[in-house]
Amino acid sequence: MHLHDKMPSIQSGRNNNINTRKLVSRHLSIILSVAGFLAAAVSFSANAIEIETPAVGLSGIPMDYVVSGAVPGESVKFIIDGDSYNATADTEGRAEFSAIAIDGAGEAQLSATVGDETVDRQIRVIPGWLSVLPAVMAIVVALTLRNVIPALLLGLWLGATALQSFTFTGAGVGLLDTFQVYVRGALADSDRASIVLFTMMIGGMVGIITRNGGMASIVLAIVSRAKTAIGGQVAVWFMGLMIFFDDYSNTLVVGNTARSLTDHLKISREKLAYIVDSTAAPVACIALITTWIGYQIGLIDQAMGTIEGLADVQAYTVFIQSIPYSFYPILAIVFVLLVAATGLDFGPMYAAEVRARNGQVKPVMAEALPALEGEELAPKDNIPLRAFNAFIPIIVLIVGLGASLFALGEGSTVTEILATTKPYQAMMYSSFVGVLVAATMTIGQGILSVHETIDAWYGGLRATLFGMIILILAWSLSDVTAALSTAKFLVTLFADSIPVALIPAIAFILAAMTAFTTGTSWGTMAILMPLVIPLAWAVMIVHGIADPSGMHIFYSSVACVLAGAVWGDHCSPISDTTVLSSIASGCNHIEHVRTQLPYALVVGAVGLIVGTVPAGFGLPPWISLLAGVAILYGILKTFGRSAEA
């Protein structure tokens, strides 16, 4: 074939190649266009302007708003109900607008402008008093019906409805949200799940050491010394001081361990729950090495870090200096000892003790928390009673908790370690190891078979389930009150004008009310500490006492946030520690609240009037403590009666 015969085919091949290149180029152009469009869309989405608001606004209450999605350093204009505010976006593209109050209720119009882009939004504004109503309803219904579950559910429903709207549709959606949103959210929280599992594992361990006879042996050993109701109560109080690492551990271990002893000595379940509850949190609050201290120091340090003149002050030093001003925790511990050692009681507790001396240690009401008791948890017949079968697992639990706290923390000092540790993880480790040790010892000695040990563990675990339901509902209500900004309403209501000497007293009352209505001491501390510390320091500067001459105001204010949170927690029927004390003691929950409340009110009033108020005027705290103890003893001798009589 000649060359000219090949030309058509060569030309055709060239044309095909050219067409192919054009087609590829066209497709590539389309792909690049689409990619550019998608990139622009992603960029637009990443920089989309959004207005972050509270769940609802409270009329007349300063609230915080955030505009996000701006370019760092860009000017942001924020309009709320016609009032305009300006701010500059930070390095994360967020502009904060703090303490903006909206007058009147209804729908408020919000608008944010960044460059050429404007975003509009609405927020519901409700009267401030509605934010307190769910917690108040729960407390009133609980004390009226003497049943905490319907009370919590009603309060939770009311709060969820307030977050929706007070309409038929809002009430229906709020009812569904109580379970789907808030109960599920409370259970899904990892820290709260750790508490639930820790509690159940403690119950399982107690089930094993009860079934294997270890608990019975301890009771026999203590009974040989504590042969009277007074001796038994003092022994329980002393056990509460020994377990100071953590309030949950204190409550569960002491309550479950001492219940058999107090039943034997005809001490009421209400008295046991009171002793357990009124030593656990106060001890954990003021002891130097506990799961509370790291949390409290962290809050103090964070609050002082932004204040000129306090940024370089050690938070641990401030905490140590504040301990003498912690009147309620100290007086609560002392008053428990006075009640136990004198055998005197007043109010509903006296009636409970008289009933117990007549042989009925449990509340007469049939509906009580199903505590760790029953035939499946009674000691097995014909087995050796060895105290170390209970002592060793409990010691392993306590030592394991302390060791885990230090192992999981970072730093070269105790303060640094406790400030960075992971208390919930430590609780999980220690409770799990405690169960393993109890089970291994029981099976290894041939006291129980593997099957019997698992049954004992499950029997103890199962007894905590009902209490865990109450605990989860209490957490759910706490989340609702947080969404309703209950704490902001209380702070605004009471913190308008405060004389410098009364700052600690106001802080105590505010913390007590917040903890009482929300049921959480830690949550109260987290809410109020960043508010009270700057407020106290600012008022001290105004009065010219921001120096060593006025530091008693500062230390007392810090102590009063912590002490008031514990006091409100003790009085609240929706408090988690109050619930756990009822569980561990096998006491009806509402009866525990009814019998403890008068004692807590008396100690709180004495601590406030004799301790906090005079301390604000400069009276040394040790004088107030001595006077407080003397007054409490006088009240007990005057109004108390002996159940033995």
Q: Are 576 and 247 in contact (CB under 8 A)?
A: no
Instruction: Assess whether pLDDT exceeds 90 at residue 504.
Output: yes
What's at 165, amino acid-wise? S
Task: Name the residue among 563, 555, 496, 553 with its Cα closest to residue 524.
Answer: 563
User: What's the pLDDT band for 39 if we cut at 50, 70, 90?
Assistant: very low
Other C-beta atoms lying within 10 Å of the C-beta of residue 548:
7
User: What's the pLDDT band for 291 if we cut at 50, 70, 90?
Assistant: low
φ, ψ for residue 129, nearest 5 deg: -65, -20
Give the Cα separation of 631 and 335 in Å (integer). 10
Give the Cα separation of 157 and 166 in Å (integer). 11
**Token pair for 226:** 């504590």
Q: Which domains occur in the chain, in start order?
A: 50-126 (2.60.40.1930), 132-188 (no CATH), 264-360+478-484+491-642 (no CATH)
Burial per residue of 244-253, b for 16 or more beta-carbon CB atoms within 10 angstroms, e otherwise:
bbbbbbbbbb
Most confident of 307-316, 373-382, 392-401, 412-421: 392-401
Mean pLDDT of 334-352: 94
Task: Name the residue among 217, 240, 583 with its Cα closest to residue 391.
Answer: 217
Of 274-278, 328-332, 386-390, which range is least confident?
Answer: 386-390
Burial per residue of 589-603, b for 16 or more beta-carbon CB atoms within 10 angstroms, e otherwise:
bbbbbbbbbbbbebb
- Tell me: the pLDDT tens digits for 215-234? 777 766 765 677 888 988 99
Instruction: Assess whether pLDDT exceeds 70 at residue 340.
Output: yes
Degrees, nearest 5: CA angle 3-6-8: 130
Of 168-172, 366-370, 436-440, which range is least confident?
Answer: 366-370
Sign of CA dihedral 441, 447, 448, 453: negative
Mean pLDDT of 428-435: 90
Give the Cα separation of 349 and 359 in Å (integer). 15
- Tell me: the pLDDT tens digits for 152-163? 899 999 999 999
Helices 315-322, 291-305: inter-axial angle, 10-degree rounding: 120
Give the Cα separation of 464 and 399 in Å (integer). 24
Give the Cα separation of 529 and 533 in Å (integer). 6
Q: Whole-model pTM?
A: 0.68
First to last CA, the chain: 133
User: What's the pLDDT band for 143 if we cut at 50, 70, 90?
Assistant: low
DSSP code of 131?
G
Of 104-108, 138-142, 264-268, 509-513, which range is least confident?
Answer: 138-142
Burial per residue of 137-163, b for 16 or more beta-carbon CB atoms within 10 angstroms, e otherwise:
bbbebbeeebebeebbbbbbbbbbbbb
Mean pLDDT of 252-266: 83
Other C-beta atoms lying within 10 Å of the C-beta of residue 582:
30
Residues β-bridged to residue 87: 76
Of 392-406, 481-495, 508-522, 581-595, which range is least confident?
Answer: 481-495
Q: Are 600 and 567 in contact (CB under 8 A)?
A: yes
- Tell me: the pLDDT tens digits for 305-316? 767 777 677 777
Helices 269-286, 247-264: inter-axial angle, 10-degree rounding: 150
**Token pair for 250:** 């204190």
- Tell me: the pLDDT tens digits for 562-593? 999 999 988 888 888 888 888 888 888 889 99
Q: Where are the beta strands (DSSP E) in 263-303?
A: none
Mean pLDDT of the chain: 82
Give the Cα separation of 161 and 177 in Å (integer). 9
Position 627 scores a pLDDT of 96
- Tell me: the pLDDT tens digits for 542-567? 777 877 778 889 999 999 999 999 99
Give the Cα separation of 24 and 27 in Å (integer). 5
Position 2 scores a pLDDT of 47
Query: Between 114 and 3, where is the model more confident?
Result: 114
